[in-house]
């Protein structure tokens, strides 16, 4: 059976998380970091979100994905993946652990569950990479 990594990409509010959960049971995102923080502090995501913590959030997501790969699970990652470099580590891990990568792009408009400002969404839209597959994958 093929080991699969789904990279579910899209702008905030496009349905990434919903689609990811329909694909498999093992789903991760950088948002998990802030969701957990909000739960622990009994606050909302938008209150605890701080872009200075994005490197830790993405690092945690990547670590969880790598552990799930070691366990041989089918995995979905629901992140914006606006630019190609944001997906590089996932492609490298997939190569290292023998996973096939399937990129799914969500384009619906449900409204941001995390109250992402329209200005931020517009900047993502302007920087959107049509293709996030790497030229060459090195594990």
pLDDT in tens, 51-97: 899 999 999 999 999 999 999 999 999 999 999 999 999 999 999 99
Q: 61 CB contacts (<8 Å, ≥6 apart)?
A: 28, 29, 30, 32, 33, 77, 79
Overall pTM > 0.85: yes
The helix or strand, by DSSP H or E, that contains position 97, with its residue range, turns out to be: helix 88-97
Q: Among 7-21, 28-42, 125-139, which stretch is predicted with the lowest mean pLDDT? A: 125-139
Separation between Cα atoms, residue 125 and residue 42, nearest integer Å: 32
CA atoms within 13 A on the CB side of 5: 30
The model's pLDDT over 32-49, given as tens digits with 9 standing for 90+, comes to: 999 999 999 999 888 899
- Specify the CATH class of 3-126 in words: alpha beta
């Amino acid at each position: 059976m093929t080991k699969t990594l789904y990279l579910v990409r899209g702008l905030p509010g496009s349905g990434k998380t919903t689609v990811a959960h329909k694909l498999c049971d093992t789903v991760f995102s950088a948002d998990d970091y802030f969701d957990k923080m909000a739960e622990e502090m009994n606050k909302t995501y938008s209150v605890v979100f701080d872009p200075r913590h994005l490197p830790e959030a993405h690092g945690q997501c990547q670590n969880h994905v790598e552990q799930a790969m070691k366990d041989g699970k089918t995995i979905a990652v629901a992140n914006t993946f606006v630019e190609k470099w944001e997906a590089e580590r996932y492609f490298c891990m997939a190569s290292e652990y023998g996973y096939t990568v399937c990129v799914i792009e969500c384009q619906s408009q449900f409204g941001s569950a995390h109250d992402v400002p329209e200005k931020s969404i517009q900047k993502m839209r302007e920087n959107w990479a049509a293709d996030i597959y790497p030229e060459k994958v090195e594990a």
